[in-house]
Amino acid sequence: MEIMDEYKLEVFKDYFDSGEIRKFRELMMYYECAMLEVKTKLDVLNKELALKKSRNPFESIKCRIKTPESIVEKLARRGIEFSVDNIEKELNDIAGIRVICSFPDDIYELINYLLEQDDIRLIAIKDYIKNPKQNGYRSLHVIYAVPVFLSSGAHYTPVEVQFRTIAMDYWASLEHALRYKTDLPDDKH
């Protein structure tokens, strides 16, 4: 993932001058590096636990960085003034990872192993497995802050990790497709 290619910044030309665009690119680099840090930690745990248990605790892992359009839309939806500082202060899901596990126990085990690592900070947990949304959505969302070590020092950056089982992921994908195809309102609960 290359920051310059990934972010076609035309969406920001009405909001930012060249200094702010440079600041935005730097911020996106932090998010990308933080996402890679968490993905590496998960990959290492997957290898270790596969050796110990003769099976992998997760089936797949997907990473993404929120698009500039999505960032603008989310800030507007929340009524937050658009600025690079507000992106950093108000949004914790710029960097996202989805981990698909076979069993719910694997999810809780992975979360605990990550929390035991001394360089990870917990920002928030939303447990939609134990407390499903009204529409049946089940997942566990954890926002971690991890250090990105740069020439200037460590910069703690949030990464949202969504943990689901294969069945939960299937349901979420189906529900999203139905909502998109039928233009149903978004369930906020």
How far from 57 is each of 44, 65, 118, 126, CA to CA, in Å? 11, 24, 21, 21
Question: Which one of the listed residues 6, 88, 90, 160 is annotated catalytic?
Answer: 160
Active site residue 88: no
Distance of CA 180 to the CA centre of its chain: 21
Closest CA to 65 of 91, 100, 97: 97
DSSP 18-53: HHHHHHHHHHHHHHHHHHHHHHHHHHHHHHHHHHHH
How far from 54 is each of 48, 50, 109, 149, 173, CA to CA, in Å? 10, 5, 16, 34, 29
Cβ(157)–Cβ(34) under 8 Å? yes
What residues act catalytically? 160
